[in-house]
Amino acid sequence: MAQAPSVYQRRRGASAAELAQIPWLALLTPSERKRIEPQVVVSDPGPGDYVCRMGRPATYWFGVVEGLLKMSTDSPSGRSITFTGVPPGGWFGEGTVIKRESYRYNISALRRSVVAGLPIDTFHWLLDNSIGFNRFVMNQLNERLAQFIEAREIDRSNDPDVRVARNLAALFNPTLFPGVGEMLRITQQELAYLVGLSRQRVNVALNTLQAQGAIRIEYGGMRVLNLAALRASGT
């Protein structure tokens, strides 16, 4: 039986609708956009497909157009540790791409997704030539630092409700994930994978947060009603 094409082999040029969902393109000058847009590619990873893997050299800067990815790593014992989810509008790995290093984490799809990629040499050309792009990347790096400091605090919490609330708040970050808005399309099982709890325990926490007025559970996802309350949970 022939092996299915890889995520890389399925890449294609981005459509106009897909390009319209890439937040940093709007910060480029018309001449920069004319040069860059033809170089953006997209692919369609399915559940479990890897977008990038630990130890592989960075060749693209990636972002989520549709769907949901997770960032994880494998411990020496073989245990997988999930760092965060990446919902629509999120671009990741800029630190690795800037340093032209190999990935120190895995990125895989939790559901059928559409992922865009910008070649690493094009990324560096934009760093050298575009003020708007530089500002976007600086904001990303600054927000990413705050995200990982928050993640360390979450890891220290033994309260499942706090873990769920803080992880949800991270996925609603408007700077890192501008495509989410007020409604995050995620199943309780997908959230359980990201938080590291059972689906049943996540369900209990979500109902608690809904009773507190922080979120509303809707068909296909969660709507944030009070982001500040999610972020302050447990403090």
Strand stretches in the chain, DSSP E:
12-13, 41-43, 50-52, 60-66, 69-74, 80-86, 91-92, 106-109, 114-119, 183-184, 215-218, 221-224
Task: Give CA separation, 121 vs 3, 98, 117, 152, in Å.
Answer: 30, 10, 12, 33
CATH 2.60.120.10 residue ranges in the chain? 12-140
The CATH 1.10.10.10 domain(s) of the chain lie at 157-232
Averaged pLDDT for residues 173-202: 91
0.85 surpassed by pTM: yes
What's the pLDDT score for residue 234? 66
- Residues 146-161 have pLDDT tens digits of 877 776 666 666 788 9
State yes or no: pLDDT of 74 exceeds 80. Answer: no
CATH 3.20.20.190, domain 157-232, yes or no: no
Residue 216, pLDDT score: 95
Q: Enumerate the β-bridge partners of residue 222.
A: 184, 217
DSSP bridge partners of 216:
223
Pairing mode of beta strands 69-74, 183-184: unpaired
CATH of domain 12-140: 2.60.120.10
Q: Per residue in 6-59, pLDDT tens?
A: 888 899 999 999 999 999 999 999 999 999 999 999 999 999 999 999 999 999
